[in-house]
Amino acid sequence: MDFKTCSGIDAMTRRPIVVSYGEKIETVERAPQVRGPLLSPGWIDIQVNGFAGADYCSPHTPVDLIAHSIEVLWSTGVARVFPTVITGSKEGMAGAIRNLTYAKASLPVHGRSMEGFHIEGPHISAEEGPRGAHPVEAVRAPDTDEFDRWMDLSNGQIKMITIAPEWPGACAYIEHVVERGVVAAIGHTNADGDQIRAAVSAGATTSTHLGNGAHNLIRRHPNYIWEQLAEDRLGASFIVDGIHLPAAFLKPALRAKGIERSILTTDAVMPAGCPPGRFRLGEVDVELHPDDRVTLVGKDRLAGSSLRMDRGVEKLMMLGEIGLPDAIRMASANPGRFARVAGRAVGIAPGEKADLLEFGFTEGRISVKRLTVDGETVYTA
Enumerate the domain spans of the chain: 43-344
CA distance 226 to 246: 16
Q: What is the pLDDT of residue 25?
A: 98
Q: What is the pLDDT of residue 214?
A: 97
- CA-based end-to-end distance of the chain: 28
Q: What is the pLDDT of residue 2?
A: 80
Is the predicted pLDDT of residue 278 greater than 80, yes or no?
A: yes
Instruction: Tell me the average pLDDT across 12-19.
Output: 95
Q: What is the pLDDT of residue 255?
A: 98
DSSP class of residue 41 equals E
Is the predicted pLDDT of residue 310 greater than 90, yes or no?
A: yes
Q: What is the pLDDT of residue 33?
A: 77
DSSP class of residue 91 equals H
Most distant pair of Cα atoms in the chain: their distance: 62
Phi-psi region of 132 (alpha: psi -120 to 50; beta: other; left: phi over 0): left
CA distance 361 to 209: 26
Measured over the CA atoms of residue 67, residue 68, residue 74 and residue 78, the dihedral's sign is: negative
Confidence of residue 286 (pLDDT cuts 50, 70, 90): very high
C-beta atoms surrounding 341 within 10 Å = 22
- Mean pLDDT estimate for the chain: 97
Q: What is the pLDDT of residue 283?
A: 83
What is the CATH topology of the domain spanning 43-344? TIM Barrel (3.20.20)
CA distance 18 to 29: 5
Is the predicted pLDDT of residue 165 greater than 90, yes or no?
A: yes
SS3 for 355?
Answer: coil
DSSP class of residue 353 equals B
pTM, two decimal places = 0.97
Confidence of residue 34 (pLDDT cuts 50, 70, 90): confident
Residues 138-153: tens digit of each pLDDT: 999 999 999 999 999 9
Instruction: Tell me the average pLDDT across 143-171.
Output: 98
Q: What is the pLDDT of residue 284?
A: 86
Tell me the CB-side half-sphere exposure of residue 44, using CA atoms within 13 A: 31
Asked if 96 and 293 count as a contact pair (C-beta separation under 8 A), the reply is: no
Confidence of residue 128 (pLDDT cuts 50, 70, 90): very high
Q: State what percent of residues in the chain have pLDDT above 90.
A: 96
> Which amino acid, one-letter code, is at 362?
T
Q: Where are the beta strands (DSSP E) in 248-290?
A: 262-265, 277-281, 284-288
CA dihedral 57, 58, 64, 66 (to 10 degrees): -10
Instruction: Tell me the average pLDDT across 227-247.
Output: 98
Q: Tell me the backbone φ, ψ of residue 180, rounded to 5 degrees.
A: -90, 10
Pairing of strands 16-21, 4-10: antiparallel
CA distance 335 to 210: 14
Phi-psi region of 188 (alpha: psi -120 to 50; beta: other; left: phi over 0): left
DSSP class of residue 216 equals S
Smallest CA-to-CA distance from 42 within 77, 83, 12, 7 is with 77
